[in-house]
Amino acid sequence: MIDATTAASLTDEWKGKDNTLAEFIAVLFKDKFIEIYVGDAYEDVKYEQTSQPYPAVFCGKVISAYKECLVLQAIYVSKEKHVKLGSLMFLNERAVRCICEISGEFSIQDMMLRSNEAPAIYNAYKNNLSIKTKK
């Protein structure tokens, strides 16, 4: 996992340079697997009075970048239900809303909260407590 010190160090090193976000991501996450949220939902589950959107993400291994274009080797699920590396994916950095390294511990969806949950999350973290959320 990329840590805050590594990200801050690269940010400091690149201050004043003309590098793009895609180039920053390519260096920081080189050969790592990431998920990228572009703002779409792949499914919207409707309940009686509410609905729950599930964020659509692209997943892949970071290969490189050229200017504003991030190059990933895409991950997909085959017809046989096996996870495989597929074609190269070229993503414009302007489409990116959020990036997270795939760790197996959490996903972008786990980090998306309702605004009214923020104080409880912060207090639980500050006091090293577990939290209960309404689902």
Residue found under tokens 């050229």: 66
Q: Which residues pair with 41 in a beta bridge?
A: 55
Question: Does residue 67 fall inside a structural domain?
Answer: yes
pLDDT at 116 over 90: no
Question: Does residue 85 fall inside a structural domain?
Answer: yes
Question: Does residue 129 fall inside a structural domain?
Answer: no
Burial bucket for residue 16 (CB in 10 Å: 0-12, 13-18, 19+): exposed
Q: What is the pTM of this model?
A: 0.76
Percentage of residues in the chain having pLDDT higher than 70: 95
Query: What pLDDT is attached to residue 37?
Result: 87
Residue found under tokens 């180039």: 23
Q: What is the CATH number of the domain that holds 58?
A: 2.30.30.100
Query: What pLDDT is attached to residue 39?
Result: 78
Domain total of the chain: 1
Query: What pLDDT is attached to residue 15?
Result: 92
Query: What pLDDT is attached to residue 57?
Result: 86
Q: Give the three-state DSSP class for 62.
A: strand
Question: Does residue 69 fall inside a structural domain?
Answer: yes
Instruction: Please report, as a single letter, which amino acid is at residue 65.
Output: A
Rounded Cα distance, 6 and 41, in Å: 31
H or E element at residue 43: strand 33-46
Q: Residues 70-92: what's their mean pLDDT?
A: 93
Task: Provide the pLDDT confidence category of residue 133 given band limits of 50, 70 and 90.
Answer: low
- Domain boundaries, position 16: 4-106
Query: What mean pLDDT, rounded, does the chain reach?
Result: 87
Burial bucket for residue 34 (CB in 10 Å: 0-12, 13-18, 19+): buried
Residues 21-79 pLDDT 10s: 999 999 999 999 999 988 777 777 778 877 777 778 899 999 999 999 999 999 998 99
